Chains A and B, each alone.
Chain A
Amino acid sequence: MDQLDVRIPIGGMFTIFGVVLIVYGLVSDPAIYQRSLGINVNLWWGLVLLAFGLVMLWLAYRGGASKPKNPV
Chain B
Amino acid sequence: MLGIGWALRRFVRSSDDFFLSGRSIPAWIAGLAFISANLGAQEVIGMAASGAKYGIMTSHFYWVGAMPAMVFVGLFMMPFYYGSRARSVPEYLKLRFDEKTRGLNAITFAIMTVFSSGISMYALAKLLELVLGWNFHASIVVTGVVVLAYIFLGGLRSAIYNEVLQFFLIVLGFLPLVLLGLKDVGGWEGLTSQLSVVATNAGFEPGAYTHSWQYTGSPTSNPMGIEWFGLTMGLGFAMSFGYWCTDFLVVQRAMAAGSMTAARRTPLIAAWPKMFMPLLVILPGMLAIGLHATRGGFLPIGSDGHPNYNLAIPMLLAHYLPTGLLGLGLTALMASFMSGMAGNVTAFNTVWTYDIYQTYIRPGQTDRHYLRVGHVATVVGILASVVAAYVATRFNNINDILQLVFSFVNGPLFATFLLGMFWKRSTGHGAFSGLLAGTITAALHYGLTMPRGATPGIHGGFLGATLHTYPSEMALNFWTALFAWTSCFITTIVVSLLTKRTKTDEELRGLVYSLTPRIQEGSMAWWKRPVTLGVAVLIVSAILNVIFW
CB-defined contacts of A35 to chain B, threshold 8 Å: 319-322
Instruction: Give the residue of B12, B17, B321 whose beta carbon is less than 8 angstroms from that of A41.
Output: B321
* Residue A72 interfacial (CB < 8 Å): yes
* Residue A10 interfacial (CB < 8 Å): yes
Segment of B41-49, B112-120, B160-168, B395-403 engaged in the interface with chain A: B160-168
Q: B4, B21, B24, B176 — which one has the most chain A CB atoms within 10 A of its CB? A: B176
Segment of B85-93, B256-264, B537-545 engaged in the interface with chain A: B256-264
CB distance from B130 to the nearest CB of A (A): 16
CB-defined contacts of B356 to chain A, threshold 8 Å: none
CB-defined contacts of B161 to chain A, threshold 8 Å: 6, 9
B319 and chain A: residue at smallest CB distance: A35
| Binary flags per residue of B1-39, CB closer than 8 Å to A gives 1, else 0 | 100110010011001110001001011010000000000
Contacting A at CB under 8 A, from B302-330, are: 319-325, 328
A40 and chain B: residue at smallest CB distance: B322
A58 and B262 CA atoms in complex are apart in Å by 25
| Binary flags per residue of B400-444, CB closer than 8 Å to A gives 1, else 0 | 000000000000000000000000000000000000000000000
Contacting B at CB under 8 A, from A32-57, are: 32-33, 35-37, 39, 41-42, 45, 48-49, 52
B528 and chain A: residue at smallest CB distance: A72
CB <8 Å contact, B262 and A41 = no
* Residue A21 interfacial (CB < 8 Å): yes
Interface residue SS majority, chain A: helix
| Binary flags per residue of A1-44, CB closer than 8 Å to B gives 1, else 0 | 01110100110111011001100110010001101110101100
CB-defined contacts of B322 to chain A, threshold 8 Å: 28, 32-33, 35-36, 41-42
* Residue A71 interfacial (CB < 8 Å): yes
A2 and B27 CA atoms in complex are apart in Å by 18
CB-defined contacts of B325 to chain A, threshold 8 Å: 21, 36, 41-42, 45
CB-defined contacts of B1 to chain A, threshold 8 Å: 17, 20
Count of A interface residues, CB-CB < 8 Å: 30
CB <8 Å contact, B321 and A36 = yes
CB distance from A53 to the nearest CB of B (A): 10
* Residue B465 interfacial (CB < 8 Å): no
A52 and B167 CA atoms in complex are apart in Å by 14
CB <8 Å contact, A24 and B320 = no
CB <8 Å contact, A13 and B8 = yes
Also in contact, A20 and B4, with CB within 8 A (given A25-B324, A42-B324) = yes
CB-defined contacts of A36 to chain B, threshold 8 Å: 180, 320-322, 325
* Residue B500 interfacial (CB < 8 Å): no
Instruction: Give the residue of B16, B27, B184, B319 whose beta carbon is less than 8 angstroms from that of A72.
Output: B27
Also in contact, A9 and B8, with CB within 8 A (given A37-B180, A37-B184) = yes
CB-defined contacts of A2 to chain B, threshold 8 Å: 21
Also in contact, A21 and B328, with CB within 8 A (given A6-B29, A6-B164) = yes
A37 and B184 CA atoms in complex are apart in Å by 7
A70 and chain B: residue at smallest CB distance: B258
Knowing that A13-B5, A24-B323, A28-B323 touch, tell me 4 more A-B residue pairs with CB under 8 angstroms. A25-B324, A48-B172, A72-B26, A72-B262
Which 3 A-B pairs give the minimum distances between C-beta atoms? Answer: A42-B324, A32-B322, A9-B12
